Amino acid sequence: MSYWKEIIEGGWSLVEGMRVTVRRLVRPVVTVQYPRKQLTLSPAYRGHIEFKVFPEIGTHRCIACGTCQRTCPSGVIKVQGVKDHARAPKVATHYMIDFTRCSLCGLCVECCPTQTLKYSTEYQLEEESRWDGVYDLMARLEERRT
Amino acid sequence: MGSEMASDWIRIIVGLIIVLAFSQLNALFLVWLERKVAGHIQLRYGPMEVGPHGILQTIADGIKLVGKELITPLSADWKLFVIAPVLVFMPVLVAFLVLPFDENLVIRDMNLGVLLIFAFSTLSVLAILAGGWAANNKYALLGAIRSVAQNVAYEIPLLLAVLSVALMTQSLRFSEIVAAQCRVWFIFLQPVAGLIFLICATAETNRAPFDIPEAESELIAGFHTEYSGMRFGLFFLAEYTNMFIVSAVATALFFGGWHGPFGFSFGLPGIVWFLLKVYILLFVIMWVRWTFPRVRFDQLMNFSWKVMLPLSLLNLIVTAAVLKFI
C-alpha cells in the first residue's frame, strides 16, 4: 500500500511545487536594470571605512592611537600622527587603508576610542591595478569637506 | 510525367524550407520564452536589452554561434563528430511530415503516422550517442551513455501510453485520432496515459528534471561538451524542436488536436487552437523545468521501471478490458 501512497503523496508534493513557482511567475520582479536604474541603498550598508566629520570641530577626531591598526586582522590600516608640541594631543596626519585585503569585519569601527570611523556607502568600486585599492582617508576627507 | 516530377520536387523543396524556417523561428522564440519564464520565476527580468523585452536576444546569440569557430578535438573521431549534429536534427524534420496542424494541413496523412514519429524520434538518441562517443571525452561519453539508458527506459511507458489511445481509436493515423476527440479530449478519458505521456516526453527530450545526459553540475555539458559554434547550435535547435514535436504529439493524442474544448471552436480556425495548445504545453514543460531539481540517475531509473512502466501497463490492461466488455 505504501507504493500507492508514495505515488499519490509524491505527486501532490510536485503539484505543490508547481503552485509555488507559478505564484512567483506572476509576482512583480525585485531586480532593476542596473546601469540605468539603481536601488536606494540601505543606510546600514557597510562599505570601506571613512572618517566622520564632527560639525562642532569641522573635522575628524582621530588621535592616531593605532588601536584600529593593531586590531585589524588583515593588517589593512596604517595610521600616523604628530604632536604639535610636547604637551599637545596627538592628531592623525596620514590614514591609509588597503581595501583589497579588507574583510569588512568592522573591528576598527568598534574599537575606535573617539568613534571617528564610520562605514561608507560606496559599492561601485572599480580599479585597474591592485594599488588603486589603497585609499587615503585623509585625502578623501579633504575632498568631502571642500 | 516530367512536369509532374518537377512539381513534386518543388513541393518537397518548398515544404522543406517552410519546415526549416518554422523550426528555427520556433526555437528562437522558445529560447527567449524559456529565459523569460526562468527569469520571472526567479523574480528577475530575464533578457531585456536586445529589442523590446529582449525579444531579439536569441537572434543575437544565434549570430554569435554562427560566427564562432568550429573546434574539433585532435583525438576525436572527426567523421562521426561532424556528422552527429546533422544526424540529431534529421529525425526532427521527418516528424513534421505527419503532424496534423489542421484538418487539411498535414503534409502526408499516413496511416502509421504515430508510429513514424516515434520510430524517427528514437533515432536522435543514436545521434547523441554518436556525438558523445566521437568527442573522445569522458564526460561526453558518460552523458551519451546516460542518454541512451534513459531513452530506452522511458520509451516503453511512452509507447504503452500511446498504445492505450491507439486502442480506443483503433488507428495510428493522426487525423482519425484527432477526429475521435471532437467532443471529449482523450485527456479526460485517459488521464493516467496523458500524464505518463507528458512525463516520459519530458524525459525523452532530455529536459529537466530528467536532463541528466547534460547535467552541468556533474558532466560539464554532457554529450555536447566538445561541441562549439553552430554544431552545438544544432543540438540546441534539435532539443527545442523536439520539445515542439512532443508537445504537438501530446496535443494531437490527448488534447484534441485542432478541436476547441468540448466541440466549441469559438470561431477560431483549427491551426490556432492547435498551436495555442502546443505552446501552452511547452510553457508547462518550461514551468516544470524551473520548478523541480534534477533527479539522481538511480532515482530516474527507479521511477521509470518501478512506477511508470507498471502504471502504463495497468492502464493499458484496464483500457483493453473496458473496450472489450463495455
Please indicate whether, in this complex, the C-beta atoms of B288 and A18 are within 8 angstroms of each other.
yes
**Are B157 and B312 in contact, with CB atoms under 8 Å apart?**
yes
pLDDT of residue B152 exceeding 80, the answer is yes
| pLDDT at position B89 | 83
Are A17 and B307 in contact (CB < 8 Å)?
no
Name which of A20, A25, A31 is nearest B37 (Cβ-Cβ). A25
Closest-CA distance, A42 to chain B, in angstroms, reads 20
Q: Do B307 and A7 touch (CB under 8 A)?
A: yes
Task: State whether A21 and B291 contact (CB < 8 Å).
Answer: yes
Name the residue of chain A whose CA is nearest to B37's CA: A25
**CA closest to A18 among chain B residues:** B291
The rounded distance, in Å, linking the Cα atoms of B174 and B114 is 7
Per-residue pLDDT for A66 more than 80? yes
Which CATH class, in words, describes the domain spanning A49-145? alpha beta
Joined together, the cell numbers standing for residue B150 give 534513459
CB pairs below 8 Å between A and B: how many? 36
How close does chain B come to A10, measured CA to CA in Å?
Answer: 12
ipTM of the prediction: 0.71
Helix (H) or strand (E) holding B280: helix B270-289
Please tell me the predicted confidence (pLDDT) of residue A111.
92
Question: pLDDT grade, residue B13 (50/70/90)?
Answer: confident
Every domain of chain B and the residues it spans:
1-67, 70-325
Q: What is the sign of the dihedral through the CA atoms of B210, B215, B216 and B220?
A: negative
Express as a percent the part of chain B with pLDDT over 70. 99
Q: What is the pLDDT of residue B2?
A: 64
Contact A74, A107 (CB under 8 A): no
Residues of chain A found within 8 Å of residue B292, distances taken between Cβ atoms: 14, 17
| Cα B235 from Cα B224, distance rounded (Å) | 8
Q: Can you give the pLDDT at residue B1?
A: 54
- Mean pLDDT check: name the lowest of A91-105, B18-32, B99-113, B120-134: B99-113
CA-based nearest residue in chain A for residue B195:
A11
CA angle B132, B138, B142 (to 5 degrees): 60
Q: Which of B45, B307, B311 is facing A29, going by the closest CB pair? A: B45
The answer to whether B39 faces chain A, any CB pair under 8 Å, is: yes
Q: CA of B209: which chain A residue's CA is closest? A: A14
SS3 A91: strand
